[in-house]
Structure 1
Amino acid sequence: MLLGIWKRGIVLLAFLLSHALGSFVGINIGTDISNLPSASTIVSILQAQKIKHVRLFEADHQLLTALANTGIEVMVGVPNDQLLQIGESRSAAADWINKNIAAYLPGTNITYIAVGNEVLTSIPNAAVVLVPAMQFIHSALLAANLDFQIHVSSPHSVNVIPQSFPPSTATFNSTLNSIMYQYLQFLKNTGSSFMLNAQPYYSYTKANGIYPIEYALFRSLNPDNQILDPNTLFSYTNMFDTMVDAVYFAIQALNFSGIPIIVTQSGWPSSGGDNETDANVDNALAYNTNLIHHVLNNSGTPSQPKMPINTYIYELFNEDLRAGPLSEKNWGVFFPNGTAVYSLNFESVVDGGTISSGLSGVFCVAKLSANSQNLKQGLDWACGPGGANCSSIQPGQPCYESDDLSAVASYAYNDYYHRTQASGGTCNFDNTAVITTNDPSHGLCIFAGSSTTNSSASKGPASDSSPSVGVERLQAFSSGYLVLVLLLLFFCW
């Protein structure tokens, strides 16, 4: 009995300390891929990127095995097609826990179970079994003495809220109120979190120009375009915060409070069809880089500034087998062969509003197919109105190549891109440029974004060198340490 209490206390302490030390950014791993990398390869990618939190849409046994002893925290999903069986049978839930969760503990660090995905909006006929399924899963965890380690919830689409702006007036769809009340009561009783899939890409494209693209991408808004909630006077600088706050206010409208939100999906597609021009590498890189910065800054939302917004980026790989428009297949940070679509830093926080570290390892270069006349025009614009620093491509300088216009243009294009990407600059130049992760640096000619120019940034999170952030982390640690001492005293007593 005493051992069980100590185990619960230790896990609770770990849970409290992890929250005290700030928020995290994880990633979704989808498997609708014709040539899925091996589980060991996937884990190697996660470790190389220092990704410490992953969400699996189902209990992939090979991945669960490969994730053992890595320390990576894992959220495991119950697929929608298994929801009915589990929601109608306590024994089926217990069997699912035994086969898919208990069998991989303690080696694999499973901390959450996501029951279904967007059930209330994608398969409304199954809504009546959602909360029972969660309850049966939780009961099975309780019977296995695992409820203190693993929390249970279910991800929802933002579409459970018909009108998310202004956030202060947001309420859940009235037809869902009964089920949503049961869901929130379950979360409150078990100390779990509301799971939200927040995808500004869809809201932005469906709005048909009502909102500026900067609002969707976390970029600075024109002073004339400030977005204000007239009831609270909260200023919203990005669509992500608007979505999260709308859920907080909708929860309050059902008389619940103190339930944190985990964003289980958020991202931006890097490619799309002819009618999906906003799905491109520039926007995907900007959105996810700025999202990481926003989350790791622990800035919360306007209505909940002290609540961390733990977030999972959608997603690790492009999924070529997904149905729907071309953009649906291109949400990944990596191609299935392991090469990067674009480079992200999952750890560092960069002080100030301009994000540059997210472009480390990403380069804007001239297309090999571009003709010389168009390249010359692009080069002249980049070094002129574009404001690129072109001193290194002047005669006698390390990047000057009199017989290679493409190389010279590439340097100018890349310098411009790295200077302006965070504020809206793109890698296009009248369709003569392309994004690459192949470093074009050579000799003494070093391109912006090369690891050579970012060595100082690679020495750990930038926040470690920031006095204010360091103090906040010290205070957070002190709070966690106090909790540790108090709980230990309680258990000893």
Structure 2
Amino acid sequence: MRLELWLGSILFIFGSLSNVTVAFVGINIAGELSNLPSPEQVVAILRAHKITHVRLFNSDVRLINALSDTGIEVMISVANSDIMGIGKSPSAAASWINTHVAAFKPATNITAIAVGSEVISSTPTAVPFLVSAMNYLYKALLASNLNDVKVSTPLSMDLIPTPFPPSTATFNHSWNSTIYDILEFLKNSNSFYMLNAYPYKDYIQHNGVFPIQYALFQPLPVVKQIVDPNTLFHYESMLDAMVDATYYSIAACITPVIPIIVTETGWPWAGAANESAATVENAETFKNNLIKRVLTGSGPPSQPGILMNSYIFELFNEDDNRSYGVYFRNGSAVYSLDLGDSMENNTGGFCVARKGADPDGLQSGLNWACGQGQANCSAIQSGQPCYLPNTVQNHASYAYNDYYQRKRVEGATCDFGGTAIITNIDPSYGSCIFKGSSNSSAGRVSPPAFGPVGPTGSASPTHRVHEIGYLMLATLLFC
């Protein structure tokens, strides 16, 4: 299965280089609009905090209209209660597209339609009509020449009964037929899998089996690191493991790999009396670490070349005892969050090996950087300043950084099959000096992303083919 996943990654990466996008973290807007600030105020909040992607639970025409000419990418939703009617009638689907999509494009940048939310888990009466609704909506989009809008449906992690270890995860067999039909639709329409994944819920359900640091994207001591015993992949966060469990579950049903977008994830800042982990501090830590993780531009261990783009749940608090919102309904902030500043803070001067990365992957990256990548690796040879400590982690860090500083002006990125990460911390030690923005003329490092980083700094497809494609193929030799 691991071999199939890597092959699928190669096909996906080489087949979509021309459509590669920047890593992003978006946000959900749920709740009734009548209980929220005005559409204009909502848009003002989004723009002030540099939020570039939103998912609307309620496709209110006033908010869709207010988002026009902002450039914000908008995912709109079909209510669970509307799925049956649309799934029975192509004309109902066409009417929905005309009302909610065609009437607003291109001024409003609608890029995707989420058909329902966790329909299989929450609304079983709508399940028989789900795939037909997706098909009818997709055909209506094609008929309206709106081919750029993707159609999918958010699915819960509840559909995977045993998500750990990820390599053995499979979907609940009782839903095999429906899930297979959904995956076939996504493959044929070149769409993506929408996943709702909450590390908080998994942490609570397992009652201390996993440390809270693992759920909050915080470093773990060596003795507590989470490792899949079958693949030996190290998981630095619970969300990475959840996404990988979904990739393995998909691979058990269908090929090639279908990319995943996390349509919901979050952490409550308040909860019931027995929910001691639901605090403002933990919620802020989770969301800011999520942003840093996603903006590294790498995917989970089994799919390092596929971005792990995610939407935070949610912008405004809803009326229940679990408060996930970043803002109160009056527009005041619960805690600080700014996706734009987080992206800038995540940029740095050094490209180093990711802690806990697969040793075989690091060795492949090291070999490529010192060979085809043309990095100057003389400093890590025996007797030279950076030879000690004599570990693949240390040597890969030096080689990755040297390659990155030499080639990034030509469009190279810090990725190396997901084994590398950008850092602001100077890894130099003793007489071993790493090149970087703080000690060279290299200048400011671009945001770490798989693909273009903006209008003035896009990664060339040639570098991406050489760096990612070679590493994927090289890794196969170790599987």
Does the alignment reach a TM-score above 0.5? yes
Match of 1:466 in 2: 445
Tell me, which stretches of 5 or more residues in structure 2 are unaligned? 1-14, 349-441, 466-479
Specify whether residues 273 and 237 from structure 1 end up closer, same or farther in structure 2 by C-alpha distance, changes over 3 A only: same
Q: Following superposition, which runs of at least 4 residues in structure 1 exceed 6 angstroms of deviation? A: 15-18, 480-483
Match of 1:227 in 2: 226
Once residues 271 and 185 of structure 1 are traced to their aligned partners in structure 2, the CA distance between those partners, rounded to angstroms, is 40
Equivalent position SS for 1:26: strand
Structure 1 residue 342 displacement after superposition = 0.8
Match of 1:86 in 2: 86
| Matching of residue 477 in structure 1 with residue 459 in structure 2 | yes
**Preserved contact between residue 31 and residue 58 of structure 2 (Cα < 8 Å):** no
Specify whether residues 469 and 199 from structure 1 end up closer, same or farther in structure 2 by C-alpha distance, changes over 3 A only: closer
| Matching of residue 158 in structure 1 with residue 157 in structure 2 | yes
Once residues 114 and 186 of structure 2 are traced to their aligned partners in structure 1, the CA distance between those partners, rounded to angstroms, is 12
**Which range is displaced more, 99-108 or 156-165?**
99-108
**Preserved contact between residue 25 and residue 309 of structure 2 (Cα < 8 Å):** yes
Once residues 196 and 480 of structure 1 are traced to their aligned partners in structure 2, the CA distance between those partners, rounded to angstroms, is 31
**Preserved contact between residue 58 and residue 77 of structure 2 (Cα < 8 Å):** yes
Equivalent position SS for 1:265: strand
Matches within 5 A, 1:210-221: 210-221=209-220
User: Which residue type is aligned with residue 336 of structure 1?
Assistant: R
Structure 1 residue 470 displacement after superposition = 8.9
TM-score for the superposition, normalised by structure 2: 0.70
Specify whether residues 128 and 292 from structure 1 end up closer, same or farther in structure 2 by C-alpha distance, changes over 3 A only: same
Structure 1 residue 345 displacement after superposition = 2.5
**Preserved contact between residue 77 and residue 114 of structure 2 (Cα < 8 Å):** yes
Once residues 265 and 480 of structure 1 are traced to their aligned partners in structure 2, the CA distance between those partners, rounded to angstroms, is 34
Equivalent position SS for 1:117: coil
Equivalent position SS for 1:101: helix
Specify whether residues 470 and 79 from structure 1 end up closer, same or farther in structure 2 by C-alpha distance, changes over 3 A only: closer
Specify whether residues 319 and 17 from structure 1 end up closer, same or farther in structure 2 by C-alpha distance, changes over 3 A only: farther
User: Which residue type is aligned with residue 159 of structure 2?
Assistant: V
Structure 1 residue 102 displacement after superposition = 0.8
Specify whether residues 162 and 476 from structure 1 end up closer, same or farther in structure 2 by C-alpha distance, changes over 3 A only: farther
**Preserved contact between residue 260 and residue 307 of structure 1 (Cα < 8 Å):** yes
Match of 1:7 in 2: none
Equivalent position SS for 1:104: coil
Matches within 5 A, 1:266-345: 266-320=265-319, 322=320, 326-327=321-322, 330-345=323-338
Equivalent position SS for 2:210: coil
| Matching of residue 37 in structure 1 with residue 30 in structure 2 | no
Once residues 127 and 210 of structure 1 are traced to their aligned partners in structure 2, the CA distance between those partners, rounded to angstroms, is 34
Corresponding residue pairs, total: 352
**Preserved contact between residue 269 and residue 284 of structure 1 (Cα < 8 Å):** yes
Structure 1 residue 482 displacement after superposition = 10
Once residues 471 and 92 of structure 1 are traced to their aligned partners in structure 2, the CA distance between those partners, rounded to angstroms, is 39
**Which range is displaced more, 336-345 or 284-293?**
336-345
| Matching of residue 67 in structure 1 with residue 67 in structure 2 | yes
Structure 1 residue 277 displacement after superposition = 1.2
| Matching of residue 170 in structure 1 with residue 169 in structure 2 | yes
Structure 1 residue 256 displacement after superposition = 1.9
Structure 1 residue 128 displacement after superposition = 1.3
The percent identity for this pair of structures is 51
Tell me, which stretches of 5 or more residues in structure 1 are unaligned? 1-14, 353-462, 484-493
Once residues 266 and 139 of structure 2 are traced to their aligned partners in structure 1, the CA distance between those partners, rounded to angstroms, is 33
Question: C-alpha offsets along residues 127-156 of structure 1, whole Å, 9 cap, x if unaligned?
Answer: 11110010010011111111x210100000
Structure 1 residue 101 displacement after superposition = 1.0
Structure 1 residue 99 displacement after superposition = 1.0
Match of 2:339 in 1: 346
Specify whether residues 471 and 269 from structure 1 end up closer, same or farther in structure 2 by C-alpha distance, changes over 3 A only: closer
**Preserved contact between residue 21 and residue 476 of structure 1 (Cα < 8 Å):** no
Once residues 187 and 48 of structure 1 are traced to their aligned partners in structure 2, the CA distance between those partners, rounded to angstroms, is 34
RMSD across aligned C-alpha pairs, in angstroms? 2.5
Match of 1:190 in 2: 189
User: Which residue type is aligned with residue 269 of structure 1?
Assistant: P
Once residues 66 and 103 of structure 1 are traced to their aligned partners in structure 2, the CA distance between those partners, rounded to angstroms, is 13
Which structure has the greater CA radius of gyration?
A: 1
Once residues 468 and 106 of structure 1 are traced to their aligned partners in structure 2, the CA distance between those partners, rounded to angstroms, is 28
Equivalent position SS for 1:302: coil
| Matching of residue 145 in structure 1 with residue 145 in structure 2 | yes
Specify whether residues 464 and 39 from structure 1 end up closer, same or farther in structure 2 by C-alpha distance, changes over 3 A only: farther
Specify whether residues 468 and 317 from structure 1 end up closer, same or farther in structure 2 by C-alpha distance, changes over 3 A only: closer
Equivalent position SS for 1:465: coil
Structure 1 residue 469 displacement after superposition = 4.3
**Preserved contact between residue 20 and residue 480 of structure 1 (Cα < 8 Å):** no
Structure 1 residue 21 displacement after superposition = 4.4
Question: C-alpha offsets along residues 368-414 of structure 1, whole Å, 9 cap, x if unaligned?
Answer: xxxxxxxxxxxxxxxxxxxxxxxxxxxxxxxxxxxxxxxxxxxxxxx
**Preserved contact between residue 245 and residue 301 of structure 1 (Cα < 8 Å):** yes
